[in-house]
Structure 1
Amino acid sequence: MDNKAYQKMDYALCLLSAAADGRNHGCIVNSFHQVTSSFPPKFTVAVNKDHETCKAVQAAGSFSVTLLDADAPAELIDTFGYKSGRVADKFAGREVQTDGSGNPYLKEHMVSRIACKVVDRLEIGSYILFVGQAAEAEVLGDGKVLTLQAYTDRGKATPPAATVYRTVEINGYRCTVCGYVYEGESLPPDFRCPLCGAPAEKFVKIEK
């Protein structure tokens, strides 16, 4: 099978967020899609089971999604795409808004937002596919949406929370559990994935 066939597809980079147990959680995904045109419309989003944001969505029974602006800074994507909510509050120091269900979202560097109530879910391997019914929707800016292709054109690896992965020419190792990429010629033997906690033996060398 030639995987280049479906690599022709492009995807929007979004910030998926939810609040649970008094904490805000969020991660960068590229799996958010509208699946019905009925009113209110329904959307799906797939998230790795090991991610704290996935657990927060399950606990909250709802989620917020904001679409990143094409000019969204690397710092924002690094924070929500490459760092774990287990060790830090990713929303700290940012101007956080709250939707009607109490879930956090950001306006800065975003073009629109959609808040959804979870109405169904399906486990797919290491991911959970949530079906959400739109409860709120708002345009936040006039810019274009940052896509996966546009982001990799910056020379950046796909954020590990994203379900669709695109490789770039880097030396490094990829976590086989969650997709996190460690950049470097060699991986320390005692290294643990900062996202899912997987040990070094769960990493594989990225082949160019």
Structure 2
Amino acid sequence: MNNAAYKKLDYSLALLSTAEGGKNFGCIINSLHQVTSSRPPKFTFSLNNDSATCAALKKSGVAAATLLAKQAEDRLVNEFGYKSGRAIDKFASFAVQTDSQGCPYLTDGMVSRLSLKVTETVAIGSYTLFICELLDAEVLGDGDCLTVKEFEKRGEDVPPVAPVYHELSADAGWKCTVCGYVRLAEDIPDDFICPICRAPRSKFVKRSEA
């Protein structure tokens, strides 16, 4: 089977967030899809079972999904895609709004917000598929959504827990020797700082030489 066939597909990046037990949870997903045109419309997405957001959403039953704008800052994906909500408050450095269901969401760098109610879940291996009804929707900005392929063009890598993560070849890009972050690029500037752990350029090695 030629896996390159389905890698031709592209996906929009979204911040999926919820609140549970007095704490906010959120992660980057690339699996949000509208699956019916009924009223209310239904959407699906999947989350890795190991994520704190997945566990919180199974309890709260409601979520906000905000679609990232094409010009969204890399730090949105770096903060919500690579770090664990069990260890830090991912929302601490952002201006946070709250929808009518009590779910946190961001407006900067976003094009739209969907407020969703979980109606059904399906276990799929190491992921859970959430089937949701749309409760509310809001346009937050102009322009197109940021997609996986557009994000990768920046020299960035989609978080490994993402449902459509494309595994890198063993020698692709540069790796931070402190936290393991991978930068997809032929070279990185001398003043480059790891977006995850803030390590300097000197802590990066070519994966082909690691």
Residue by residue, what CA displacement relative to the aligned partner does 1:58-83 show, whole Å, maximum 9, x if unpaired?
A: 11011110000111111111100111
What's 2:204 paired with?
none
CA root-mean-square deviation: 2.1
Q: Is 2:173–2:182's contact at 8 Å kept on the other side of the alignment? A: yes
* Cα displacement (A) at 1:19: 0.3
8 Å Cα contact 1:152/1:166 also seen in 2: no
Residue of structure 1 equivalent to 2:62:
62
Give per-residue Cα distances to partners, 1:113-155, cap 9 Å, x unaligned. Answer: 1011000010000000000100010100002100000001111
Q: What is the rounded CA distance, in whole Å, between the counterparts of 1:161 and 1:20 in structure 2?
A: 21
Which structure 2 residues correspond to residues 55-134 of structure 1 after superposition, within 5 A? 55-134=55-134
Amino acid at match of 1:55: A
Contact 2:157 2:182 (C-alpha < 8 Å) held by counterparts: no
Structure 1 unaligned runs (5+)? Answer: 174-179, 185-193, 195-204
Q: Whole-Å Cα distance in 2 between the matches of residues 48 and 120 of structure 1?
A: 16
Q: 1:27·1:161 contact (CA, 8 Å) conserved in 2?
A: no
Instruction: Give the C-alpha shift of residue 182 in structure 1.
Output: 4.2
SS of the equivalent of 1:4 reads helix
Query: Are the counterparts in 2 of residues 49 and 128 from structure 1 also a CA contact under 8 Å?
Result: yes
1:151 matched to 2:151: yes
Specify every segment of 5 or more residues in structure 2 that has no aligned partner in the other structure, as ranges.
184-195, 197-206
- Whether the 8 Å CA contact 1:19–1:102 is kept in 2: the answer is yes
| 1:165-194 deviations in Å (ceiling 9; x for gaps) | 134522559xxxxxx96449xxxxxxxxx9
Which residue matches 2:136?
136
CA distance in 2, matches of 1:93, 1:149: 27
Instruction: Determine the C-alpha separation between the residues in 1 that align with 2:182 and 2:96.
Output: 31
Question: Considering only CA atoms, is the larger Rg found in Structure 1 or Structure 2?
Answer: 2
Contact kept in structure 2, 1:111 and 1:139, CA below 8 Å: yes
SS of structure 1 residue aligned to 2:75 = helix
Correspondence 1:170 to 2:180? no
Of all paired residues, the percent bearing the same amino acid is 49
1:93 shift after superposition: 2.8
Q: 1:92-122: CA deviations, max 9, x gaps?
A: 1321111111110001100001011000010
- Kindly tell me: are residues 181 and 136 of structure 1, through their superposed partners in 2, closer, same or farther at Cα, counting changes over 3 Å? farther
